[in-house]
Amino acid sequence: EKVLKLGTVGFLGMPIGDAIDQALIPTLEEVSGGKMTIEPHYRKSLCSEQSCGEQANQGLIALWTSSTANFGNFGTSLAIFDLPYIFKSIEDADRISSEWLAKKQCDIAAEEAGHVCLTVYSSGGFRQLGNAHGPVHVPSDMEGIKWRVTKSPIEYTLVKNWGAVPVPYDWSQLYQGLQTGVVSGQYVATPWQHVAKLHEVAKYFTEIGGSWSGNQLSIDKRQYDALTEQEQEWLQIAAQAFGQKVQELDRAWVEAGETAIKAEIDEWYVPSEEELVQWRAGAIDAWLNAKGTYDPQTARRVLEEQGMTGFITQLEEAGAL
Amino acid sequence: MESVVLLIILVVLIMLGAPVGFTMVLIPVVYILITDAAPMILIPSQMFSAIDSVPLTAIPFFMLTGELMTSATITDRLVELSQRLIGRMRGSMAQANVLVSMFFAGMNGSVVADTATVGSLLVPAMKKAGYPASFAAAITAVSSTIGGIIPPSIMMIVLANAGGISVGALFAGGIVPGIMIGLLLMIINYIIARRNNFERSEEPFSLKAIAIVSYKSSFALLIPIVLVGSVVFGIAGVVEAGALTATIALLVGLFIYRTITWTNCKSAVVRAFRNSAMVFIIIAASGPFSWLLTSLGAINQLEMWLLSYTHNALLFALVLVLFICLLGMVMDSAANIIVVGPVLVDVMVKAGYPDVQAALVVVVGFLIGSVTPPVGVAFFTAGAIAEVRLEKVAVAMLPYLVALFALLFVLIIAPDITMFLPRLFGF
Amino acid sequence: MLAAMSFIDRIVRNTLTSFCAILLLLMVAFTVYSVVMRYVFENPPVWGDLLTVLSNIWLVFFALALTVRDKDYIALDLIYSWLPPKVSFCIQQFWSMVIFGLGLVMIIWGIEVVTTMGGKYWEMWYFAWEDGQIVFKPNYMPKKYAVAIVPISGFLVCVAAIASICEDVFRLRTGTYKWSKNVDIQS
Ligand code: NA
Ligand code: NA
């Protein structure tokens, strides 16, 4: 019997944790006839995000989850998921990712990153802007506001291009930072904002839907190669079941989070189509800055499948495709 | 079961005089060699990961602040102020010992630094004034717990980091329990001093003298003001504020008191990094150990066991106090807070307590543990300063410790004490 | 010979102490710089907290070796005051040997940590050796560089353990051996 340790920040009661518990573990148990099992360690109890990837490489654990942005610390193979406005809607993202994009990029990751990603899925839908300063309708409203960013080059340049002051700030101190004004804005997927109660101290929201909050499940490459072909197949089947389950649960999670947030804030602004053009314009520079981390052909195919011809033209003119 | 054996071996080795930090690393090494339960790379990898954290950087900052302020002779002034304030009370030096710790706590975050600094000033003076050395050591040690409870606090930073709780909320929540402990100790002091007919100062009470020495020590207030001010006005987070207070402490010593010279500045920096490294070595050493305990499922079992008492709030509080007391007796407080602290917080949260209250109970409880014999760093330090046998110190501490654990029980059953200020500050 | 050894011992100790002191001051400097750049100039550096954390980690691992050398780790040494010096000498040497062993673990598996470390820091610049010259890289410092402190510290811990064993043996011979006072009292 083979036991695979899994490290994640996910927990029971949210999609990643529940999908591990309800799909990944039982499916693997079932298809392998009990020959392979997963030992989950939720809620950062062994590691979180990038450090889980490191522990997998060290053989301390086997499977791990993280955001696609944090996967970027091991290489650029999943960077395409982080490009702002590459997906039009949650549905498009789920469809394209599960139909071919995840598989294609994960094959590259296996070559370059030392990790075999088994599936890419959404954790909380899209990132949305939340801030304590005041209403933000167009990028120029962000001018000079200190905006918390993660240490992701794409997010950093995106927020900077919109005119805000990007401030890398520790997640564990973000609530207090927003409360006291060390930083005034943040750009995180809405259910995660709800989990961290950020809406209590940042009451203005803008639904710009730019960056998809991609997440991934991986196994260390060396440990994957040490499995028999049969075992690899079982794991892939279980991972597919996990991906589907997470997708299902994630929609409801996003909706619940957004409903709860909307009940307690001052403004939830949905930009008009003209205003969205301005938001996307800031994104084009982020694509330019990220050039080299994604394959233009692949990105073009993703956009074409969603009929985003206007955006393709804009990106072409800027030289990003 | 295996994990219980591991813990017992750890405790026995520590009681036999093994260095705490290295023993915590030794046990997983030997365990891995015997059982092959994890790759040996666990040891160096988790030692590194355990200290790889932004919030923890506040520890050296607050250590440095305290050391620089001490170099600026501010502690002497605080001692003088305290003695002026309560000199007419019987047992005035014992009372001053508590009061100084309360003042000192506002610029210092560690129990051991409090014991060492206040102790090296007051213990010799108390012995000269006729107090038994064991009593002087005892009151120095127990009152120094306040140093880690009134903010800033090293152990609150450690637990906030391990348990994902706001450092600022814990700092706010520490103020009331810190003051309560001070008052409680002073009441016990009063009773003991009356019974033993301890000294009192013959100097007349003088408002003028108090005003002068208050003015002279007023820069001690600058540290809490910078700390609170920079956070409230959004200049810096609590962690960064530590670097600001250290800078202010240096500037005060250099330009206002002009007491900081090259030599004592150098030794303040060295003491600061040494004391901070002592805490970090325990944190690093706990890394592989707690990874192993988590991975073996021991942490889960402990949680299940504690949760089985939650049906009765008073029984639960009692079990919790006894458990914290027992662990505090045999383990280092930093190790307790990292390895067991988050579990206790989790259990309390599941039992319906607010996480800030839970974390404060854990910090206060395990800080009392740094004073309780047989293993307690503040206990050792106080005994060493007073040059007295540790058994005697232990006996002298007994009434105070009973009172402190009773207070801990109250902190568990009365959430308002710990939650009042954090709620007021909007956490 | 003896004089030379204690001279080297002193130099190494002083160097490590200075390193640690400088790292502590750098931590303060990086943080104050980040705060000022953010609050006053609204242009904070990306690498502020990373450099602070890395300085702290390096400080701790250097200080670990100093702690071993000075035997000023936290321990309960009550029992040893009751034991004859010969016995406490043997126990002390046993712990020094154990620490030497742990130093070896830090070297051997620390090197494995370095070689398997695939992570990078996007925000951090670094210098690399390419085509026979030093090249400046603006991003993606390999995390290998940061964790390299573990085997380095392991080496220093081993050296420190040997040095304190030598010192204790020398003292036992000359009759000046005493169980070390482990509790640090600030002067
Ligand atoms: Na304090
Ligand atoms: Na005291």
Residue C179 within any structural domain of the chain: no
ipTM: 0.94
Residue C186 within any structural domain of the chain: no
Distant-in-sequence, close-in-space partners of A21: CB < 8 Å, separation ≥ 6: A12, A40
Interface of C with A (CB under 8 A): 38, 42-44, 46, 48-49, 112-113, 116-123, 139, 143
Tell if the CB–CB gap between C44 and A168 is shorter than 8 Å.
Answer: yes
- Give the model confidence (pLDDT) of C28-83 as tens digits: 999 999 999 999 999 999 999 999 999 999 999 999 999 999 887 767 666 777 78
- Choose among B205, B106, B159, B65: nearest CA to B348: B159
pLDDT at B72: 78
pLDDT at C187: 31
Residue C182 within any structural domain of the chain: no
Taking CB atoms and an 8 Å cutoff, what residues of chain C touch A58?
Answer: 112-113, 116
| Average confidence (pLDDT) over B157-176 | 90
- Choose among A214, A231, A233: nearest CA to A98: A214
Q: How much is the mean pLDDT over chain C? A: 90
- Give the model confidence (pLDDT) of A158-170 as tens digits: 999 999 999 999 8
Q: Identify which has the larger pLDDT, B209 or A132.
A: A132
Please tell me which of the candidates A54, A168, A182 has its beta carbon nearest to residue C117: A54
Residue C94 within any structural domain of the chain: yes
Tell if the CB–CB gap between A176 and B237 is shorter than 8 Å.
Answer: yes
| Average confidence (pLDDT) over A240-267 | 96
**Residue B47 backbone phi and psi in degrees, to 5:** -60, -45
Find where tokens 């046990």 sit: B27
Q: Which amino acid is residue A151, in one-letter code? A: K
State which H helix or E strand residue C11 sits in: helix C2-39
Asked whether residue C113 carries a pLDDT value surpassing 50, the answer given is: yes
Beta bridge partners of C129: C134
User: Residue C185 — pLDDT band, cuts 50, 70, 90?
Assistant: very low
Q: How far apart (Å, rounded) are the C-alpha atoms in residues B379 and B402?
A: 15
Any A CB within 8 A of B398 CB: no
DSSP A38: E
Any B CB within 8 A of C18 CB: no
Report how far apart, in Å, the C-alpha atoms of B426 and of each of B230, B253, C121 are: 17, 35, 35
Q: What share of chain B is helix, strand, coil (3-state, %, to 5)?
A: 80, 0, 20
Residue C18 within any structural domain of the chain: yes
Q: Domain limits at C106?
A: 2-174
Interface residue of C56, C70, C81 to substitute, partner B, most B CBs within 10 Å: C56
Domain count, chain C: 1
- Angle made by CA atoms B162, B166, B169, in degrees to the nearest 5: 130
C168 within 8 A of C91, measured Cβ to Cβ: no
Contacting chains of C (3 CB pairs or more, <8 Å) are A, B
Residue C133 within any structural domain of the chain: yes
Ligand 1 centroid to Cα of residue B11, in Å, is 28
**Residue A84 backbone phi and psi in degrees, to 5:** -65, 135
**Residue B202 backbone phi and psi in degrees, to 5:** -90, -10
CB under 8 Å, gap of 24 or more: what pairs does B192-198 form? B192/B91, B192/B94, B192/B135, B192/B399, B193/B89, B193/B90, B193/B91, B193/B94, B193/B95, B194/B90, B194/B91, B196/B91, B197/B90, B198/B90, B198/B91, B198/B93, B198/B94, B198/B130, B198/B131
- Give the model confidence (pLDDT) of A173-210 as tens digits: 899 899 999 999 999 999 999 999 999 999 999 999 88
User: Residue C179 — pLDDT band, cuts 50, 70, 90?
Assistant: low
Nearest CA distance, C184 vs chain B (angstrom)? 7
Q: How far apart (Å, rounded) are the C-alpha atoms in residues B294 and B136?
A: 42
**Minimal-distance CA residue of chain C relative to A168:** C46
Q: What share of chain C is helix, strand, coil (3-state, %, to 5)?
A: 70, 5, 25
Asked whether residue B87 carries a pLDDT value surpassing 80, the answer given is: no
Taking CB atoms and an 8 Å cutoff, what residues of chain B touch C25?
Answer: 269
pLDDT at B270: 95
| Average confidence (pLDDT) over B343-367 | 95
Interface residue of B49, B159, B299 to substitute, partner A, most A CBs within 10 Å: B49
pTM of the model: 0.93
Ligand 1 centroid to Cα of residue B378, in Å, is 15
| Average confidence (pLDDT) over B321-348 | 91
Tell if the CB–CB gap between A74 and C48 is shorter than 8 Å.
Answer: no
pLDDT at B217: 85
Residue C181 within any structural domain of the chain: no
Residue C106 within any structural domain of the chain: yes
pLDDT at A4: 97
Q: How far apart (Å, rounded) are the C-alpha atoms in residues B26 and C105?
A: 10
Taking CB atoms and an 8 Å cutoff, what residues of chain C touch B61?
Answer: 27-28, 31
Tell if the CB–CB gap between A73 and C122 is shorter than 8 Å.
Answer: yes
